[in-house]
Structure 1
């Protein structure tokens, strides 16, 4: 079961947990399982066109992935990174 690292701005969905696990053979399936466990989570990462949101970057074992069909192998980690914005 993949370990998923959750950024601080999404931890309100995971009861404050920065690390969770999810089932899935693809990146998309992992996100669906996260949404099953933590309702509303997927919508914060994936837009209405089923694409990764502009302000989110997904990594599988430190390799950037944008394709939700990307295979997730047993023991791989998924990291969700939220971009920061603002300032002057």
Structure 2
């Protein structure tokens, strides 16, 4: 089962967490990125609106890494995952 790791800025949408769980790791069932995210959002519905927009695309201010590689096309979540895949969700930084 793939692991989803949430950066601390996104972890606040999960509710109260122990202090040691600054970047929680959650095992989520699914064979592709869309299925894993859908299953994650079933567990934590408040997280969906922060990660995805109304069309189901990853929001501009969110970055997703799958097995260390950045998700380039934020509208294509069909990427196949291995059972040991790691998906990192984090708030993208911007500014100048």
TM-score (norm 2): 0.80
Superposed CA RMSD: 1.6
**1:30 and 2:36 aligned:** yes
Gap regions ≥5 residues in structure 2: none
- Residue-pair matches, total: 87
Which stretches in structure 1 are left out of the alignment for 5+ residues?
none
The 4+ residue runs of structure 1 with deviation greater than 4 A are none
1:7 equivalenced with 2:7 (yes/no): yes
How far is 1:62 from its partner? 0.3
Q: CA separation in 2, counterparts of 1:20 and 1:64?
A: 19
Task: Confirm or deny that 1:77 pairs with 2:86.
Answer: yes
Q: 2:64 aligns with which of 58, 62, 72?
A: 58
- C-alpha distance in 1 between matches for 2:14 and 2:56: 21
- Aligned residue for 2:14, secondary structure, equals coil
TM-score, length-scaled by structure 1: 0.86
Larger helix proportion of the pair:
2
Q: Report Cα offsets for 1:43-79 as digits up to 9, x if no partner.
A: 2111011111001111110011232111111101000
Q: Secondary structure at the match of 2:64?
A: strand
